[in-house]
Amino acid sequence: MSTRSVIPFGPQHPVLPEPIHLDLVMEDEKVVEAIPSIGFIHRGLEKLVDKKDFNEMVYVAERICGICSLGHGLGYSEAVEHIMDIDVPSRAKYLRTIWSELSRVHSHLLWLGLLADAFGFESLYMECWRLREEALDMFEASTGGRVIFSVMKVGGIRRDVSDEMLKDFYQRINKMEEQLNTIAKPFLNDMAVQTRLRGVGVLTPEQADALGCAGPFLRASGIARDIRTTGYCAYGDVDFEPIISTEGDSYARTECRIKEIFQAFDIIRQCIDKMPAGDIDVPVKGMPNGEYVMRIEQPRGEAIYYVKANGSKFIDRMRVRTPTFANLSGLVETLKGCDLADVPILVLTIDPCISCTER
């Protein structure tokens, strides 16, 4: 009869620079149960609604995370815009969409690099992050920032992008797509990678749905839930279908994210082709009064922004539910029955963002 022991895993992760801790209950080499522990770096940013007015809170939202910065600013701004019944100009919606998809590209490439690093594929890791630099360069050219962009505001956006720059983006996207074709091959075809990923950490569609999972982690289990299909920003004007896989294992999650990068390129090209002329913002009059729950599709999955306002310049509550927070339950489920050696990879396959979670 095997004996049970508890192994503390983390808060340091072999490749993640952010702290998450798991108590792994083991029977020999198999994980029987995992209990997650977070809260090492909780910052309480939501509490800043007491000190920052509803316009300044956009900057606070953007500082929740360095990877999902743009999405947080967007989700919060859209929630306030719904409360104030503000109709954002079409050009601002299209630019918001382009930047959102660029965020997806750089977030997924960052994750692919980390995955390669976890295998010990050092040059593949460097290649992924080199390609990610292209996306960051485009951010820098269009917003002035590489990590925190400060380009969102309630009522629109702060900076326009010239038509010449958009044409340049189009060409850069095409080149990135060619390079990604090369980089994607080892992830999808290499025997060693497949051995580490196929059949590891399987989550059935029923489990993924019941556990409230989000993003590629959910869609890799065959559930076609993508909040972009609700048509916020300019997503209602572009053609795309949610990317899904059916196996629900770590390989399926990798495949989903790679396909989503290609899809992001396609959405950016469609937005550039259809880019309307006109203003990028509208004047904001009055103060927000009411409440709204906004959902957007961040690179890591569905993010929720609840805003409650009272008619003054300070809102009562901003609550952000990040995709990693939703995916922790799914992670615990996938860890049950896996080998100890697979734990680092499985933690990685939910694409955890602890900064978001510790907002």
Partner 1 sequence: MNTEFINVNPESIIDESQKLKFAGYHLIQQCATRVPDAYELIYTFGKDLEMKNLKMTLPEDQEISSITSIYPCAFIYENEMHDLFGVQIKMINIDYEGKLYRTAIETPFK
Q: Give how far Cα 237 sits from Cα of 100, 161, 228, 244, 275, Å.
A: 15, 19, 11, 21, 11
Q: Exactly one of 135, 211, 238, 350 binds partner 1 (CB under 8 A); which one?
A: 211
Q: Which of 53, 133, 163, 316 binds partner 1 (CB under 8 A)?
A: 316
Residues 123, 174, 195, 230: which binds partner 1 (CB under 8 A)?
A: 230
Residue range at the interface with partner 1 (CB under 8 A); choices 135-143, 174-182, 313-321, 345-353: 313-321
**CB count in 10 Å sphere of residue 199:** 12
Cβ 319 to partner 1, closest distance in Å?
Answer: 4
Pick 113 or 215: Cβ nearer partner 1: 215
- Of 47 and 175, the one with the shorter C-beta distance to partner 1 is 47
Strands 156-157 and 301-310: unpaired
Of 246, 240, 241, give the one whose Cα is nearest residue 223: 246
- Per-residue x/- track, 77-116, partner 1 (CB under 8 A): -----x----------------------------------
CA-based R_g, the chain, Å: 20
Is residue 11 reached through a cis peptide bond, with omega within 30 degrees of 0 on the bond before it?
yes
Question: Contact letters (x/-) for partner 1, 26-45, by CB under 8 A?
Answer: ---------xxxxxx-x-x-
Using the contact rule CB under 8 A, the part of the chain among 170-178, 186-194, 224-232, 338-346 near partner 1 is: 224-232
Which ranges of the chain does DSSP label H, i.e. alpha helix?
57-62, 69-83, 90-119, 122-143, 163-189, 191-197, 205-210, 216-219, 250-274, 323-335, 343-349, 354-357
- What's the rounded Cα separation, in Å, for the pair 316 and 309? 5
Task: Report residue 287 as tokens.
Answer: 């103060």
Binding mask 137-176 for partner 1 (x = CB under 8 A): ----------------------------------------
Helix (H, G, I), strand (E, B) or coil at 104: helix
Q: Which is nearer to partner 1, 72 or 132 (CB)?
A: 72
Least distance in Å: CB of 299 to partner 1? Answer: 18
Does position 294 interact with partner 1 (CB under 8 A)? The reply is yes
What's the one-letter identity of residue 257?
Answer: R
Q: Can you give the binding site for partner 1, defined by CB under 8 A? A: 35-40, 42, 44, 46-47, 82, 209-212, 225, 227, 229-230, 232, 291-295, 302, 304, 306, 308, 316-317, 319, 321, 325-326, 328-330
